Chains A and B, each alone.
Chain A
Amino acid sequence: MTSRRCRDFVRPLATLGVVLAALPLATLGVTAVAAQQPLHVTVGFEGGFTRARSRATGTSELVSGAVFTGAATLARSRWRLRLDYGQGNLTADTGAAAARTLAEGRAQLGFVAAAWLTLWAGPRARSYASSGIRQRWWFWEVGAEARGMLFADRSYAFGALALAPAGTVDALPAFSRETGVAAGLAVRLPGPGPWARLAYRVDQTRLAGGRRETVEAISLGVAMELRSPR
């Protein structure tokens, strides 16, 4: 059972792995002109409560549970690359639903258009595994994230909008679109410590035939800037 579950996680994310490997190379190519700029690396970890609801004609399933995510962001000049991966078990909240394992990853390239605005684009993958059945979601997502400083270098609020105009879903009706929003608060812990982030996010995927898949999460995490590897 355990080995099957592992395979279920690994297979849908194989494609994401390729992207994860390719994006840093692309980023390095794009940022060749800024080669003299130092590279900043931020790593983080967050845990949160995730709730996923699936609605189709006449049926509704709700599962929820804790999901833990690791993330890394590479920054050089005005370019950003963020990679994250999260995994957790969701248990059924309604009688018809089956418990499932959620694995989700993201590899996106960002451009800092203004001090307060970063534009993101890249793939996002999600996998549900339940009773040996694996369902893979794949989105090509673009988004914008805005920040507003509350206390200089101590706290900021952020909000993000995302849209996936294209994507694929295994064993389900054709992908229509996905929209998402995220917002939250980041506070630097005392001293030059890590950033603590409280965030809420929700995204909804619409499939042909009126089916909707909505995933919400409230998370709390920390992120820390590492020294430049130069």
Chain B
Amino acid sequence: MRGGRALLLLLASLGVTALVGARAAAAQSGTDLMRQAVRAYQDLDLDVAAGLIRRAIAFEGPAALARSERATAFMYLTTVELLRSRPDSARSAARRLVLVDPRYRPDALTFPPQAIALFTGVRRATPAVTARAAADTQFRPGGEALAVRLYASAYHAIRARVTREDGRGLRALYVGPIGDSLDLRWDGLDSTGAAVPRGRYALTVVSTDSAGHVVRELRLPLEVTPVTRDTQPLPPPPLFRPERTPMGPALRVLAPATLVGVGTVVLPSVVAGGEDHARGRFVVGGAVTIAGIAAFFAHHPARAIPENVAANQRLRDQWTGQRTQIAADNARHRGELRFAVKSGDPVIITPEGP
């Protein structure tokens, strides 16, 4: 009875341990494995290092190695296989490295010279290109162009063309050799000179060997969408200065004077009705009203301000010129076809295998 309970506890603890271990393993990423592999490589535990590197490279999805990490992993694998005296495996790893990143150059402080030499030999013998283009760009077909830069692993011959999604050729862009890099420009037209319709296309670069055989093919996906260029809004009218002095201040002095003047004549009959009031009140009321009229004109109501008139004329001319210019630009842009091109990640295909 006691022995059975101990066995049960042992099994339970083993189950928990297995579960936690499995979860921990599952939680590892390619980067984690590469860190362990580098540690094993530095401890000269080459078999373990090779296994860890292969597992790290095999990761996919979010846990996969980044492009640069993947290239470094292949370089470590090349080195490990070389040190394990497996040159074929080393060359295979080096070849895959070239296809991952034809521009890759190993760090001489990290990798031994014989590994670098092996990689360099493989790179020269493995013609491949990669392409880099702006992820999202706009241009006017026929006038402007999409710029794509090609990077080569080694000097070799290439044929570059724009193809439809199904691979049918649309426009040849370049045929000839490539050294380190090459700039290509596609103006959005097909071989007949017509703008291509909306759709998915690809820049296809075929690498050939000295005998003219296709050894590699690069496909850079391009999604072309015609767009209408935004028109600029017309500028709002500028803030003009007042061209005449305001009436308000003048009226504000005239009004009370008029009220007092009229009040002097009228109010006595209201507050003290039934009397023959002194005519002298007309003198007072008249004096106040006349003073108000004088003050009204002293404020120069609605008088032209020449400086402001001139300044406004300059502003008006400038504003009219801007409006005319922008209206003309907008009219031109409205009739203009433009392409928005989105480029995807380049894919290298090896027809015969690496």
Chain A contact residues, CB within 8 Å of chain B: 49, 51, 53, 55, 116, 146-151, 155, 157-159, 161, 179-181, 183-185, 187, 198-200, 202-204, 212, 214, 216, 218
Is B25 part of the binding interface, using a Cβ–Cβ cutoff of 8 Å? no
Q: Are A184 and B275 in contact (CB under 8 A)?
A: no
Chain B interface: which size bin?
A: 20 to 34
Contact at B257–A150, with CB atoms within 8 Å? yes
Contacting pair B271 A202 (CB below 8 A): yes
Contact of B275 among A53, A150, A199, A200 (CB under 8 A): A53
Query: Would A151 and B283 count as touching, CB distance under 8 A?
Result: no
User: In the docked arrangement, what's the CA distance between A202 and B256, Å?
Assistant: 20
- Mark contacts of B279-297 with chain A using CB atoms, 8 A cut-off: 1 yes-contact digit, 0 otherwise: 0110111011001101100
**Residues of B contacting A218 in the complex (Cβ-Cβ under 8 angstroms):** 278, 280-281, 283-284
Which residues of B lie under 8 Å from residue A53 when comparing CB positions?
A: 275
- In the complex with contacts A149-B253, A150-B257, A216-B277, A185-B288 CB distance below 8 A: yes
Contact residues in A for B280 (Cβ distance below 8 Å): 49, 200, 218
Task: Point out the residue from A183, A202, A214 that lies within 8 Å of B260, measured CB to CB.
Answer: A183
Q: Please measure, in the bound complex, the distance between the C-alpha atom of A148 and the C-alpha atom of B268, giving whole angstroms.
A: 20
B291 lies within 8 A of A181 (CB) = no
Contact among A116, A161, A183, A214 for B264, CB-based, below 8 A: A183
A157 touches B272 (CB 8 A): no
For the complex formed, measure the closest distance between the CB of B123 and the CB atoms of chain A, giving whole angstroms.
90
* Cα distance A55–B275 in the bound complex, in angstroms: 9
Chain B residue nearest to A116 (CB atoms) is B256
Which A residues are CB-close (under 8 A) to B283?
Answer: 218
Minimum CB–CB distance from B287 to chain A (whole Å) comes to 5
Note all chain B residues with C-beta closer than 8 A to A157. Answer: 256-257, 260-261, 288, 291-292
- A161: chain B residues at CB < 8 Å are 267, 271
Residues of B within 8 A of A (CB): 252-253, 255-257, 259-261, 263-264, 267-268, 270-275, 277-278, 280-281, 283-285, 287-288, 291-292, 294-295, 298
Residue of B nearest to A216 (CB): B278
The answer to whether A204 and B260 touch across the interface, beta carbons within 8 angstroms, is no
Q: Which chain B residue lies CB-closest to A49?
A: B280
With CB as the reference atom, state the residue of chain A lying closest to B271: A179
The 3 closest A-B pairs by CB, nearest first: A148-B256, A204-B272, A150-B295
Write the nearest CB–CB distance from A164 to chain B, whole angstroms.
Answer: 11
Question: Roughly how many angstroms separate A51 CA and B255 CA in the complex, as a whole number?
Answer: 30
Residues of B within 8 A of A202 (CB): 268, 271-272, 277-278, 281
Taken together as a complex, chains A and B put the C-alpha atoms of A147 and B259 apart, in Å, by 11
